[in-house]
Amino acid sequence: MYMRDMRKPLELPDDKLQKLVTDLEAITGTKFNSAFADQVNNFIGILREKSLVEQNAPKNKQIKRELVKFKNAMSKAYDIESGQLSFNAQMLLFSAIEGSLGTYTESIEHLKILIQACTTAIEGLPKQDKSKELSFAVVKQAMATELARELNSFGIKITSYRDGIFGKCVREFFNAFNGQAIGITFNIYVAEDLFQTIKTAKKDYLKTERFVLLKFR
């Protein structure tokens, strides 16, 4: 499965996307095609995905602590059974388990399976980027820069005026981010003054590389 496919459910539904594109067309006086709409929706998906990752980071840390504690307890039990239980203690366990030697052996194998499952689950938890290189704020700015790149490809001049065409487009884009997807409410504060965002986007859109997640479909 492609990365884009995985975040598709976070993107705007057709009616919301059409409204965003119509609003951008009204602001710019330009007719956009389906490829533009698809790319802008991709931006929304990337930004919402990052928002979700940061929202879940505290929960993931707690989940990881619980799984590590559980794994350590099972690993200790497995190690004791494997190397520290005497033959007589093992025989007593056999007799106490309803079934047979096979039942006891299967129980030990299940311990091994659970230990490995914990390892896999822990490794699968999203890792928080301690460097903040790709924090939500960084991705938010990157998406504004990518929007500038897309608009410019249609001949729209990118300026850093607060009430200029580009500034209004950025505001509409951020407003469109807010809403619901997969049962989750997404909401970001859209600042009254977006000057720093549009100024940075104007400075970067012609000289920076495309955002990393846009290099993969």
What was the pLDDT predicted at 62?
Answer: 82
Domain extents in the chain: 3-56+132-215, 57-124
Mean pLDDT of 7-15: 94
Q: State the Cα–Cα distance between residues 173 and 42, nearest whole angstrom.
A: 12
pLDDT value at 131 more than 50: no
CA distance 217 to 206: 22
Q: Is the dihedral of CA 19, 22, 24, 27 positive or negative?
A: negative
Give tens-digit pLDDT for 171-208. 999 999 999 999 999 998 888 899 999 999 999 999 98
State how far the alpha carbon of 91 is from the alpha carbons of 86, 95, 99, 103, 106, in Å.
9, 6, 13, 13, 15
Confidence grade of residue 1 (pLDDT, cut at 50, 70, 90): very low
Per-residue DSSP letter, 2: -
Mean of per-residue pLDDT scores for the chain: 87
Q: Using 50, 70 and 90 to split pLDDT, how confident is the model at 216? A: low
Share of the chain above pLDDT 70, in %: 90
The predicted model scores a pTM of 0.66
Residue 37: band (very low, low, confident or very high) from pLDDT cuts 50, 70, 90: very high
Spatial separation of the C-alpha atoms in residues 2 and 188, rounded to whole Å: 27
Q: What is the mean pLDDT of residues 92-117?
A: 78
Say how far apart CA 3 and CA 6 lie, in whole Å. 5
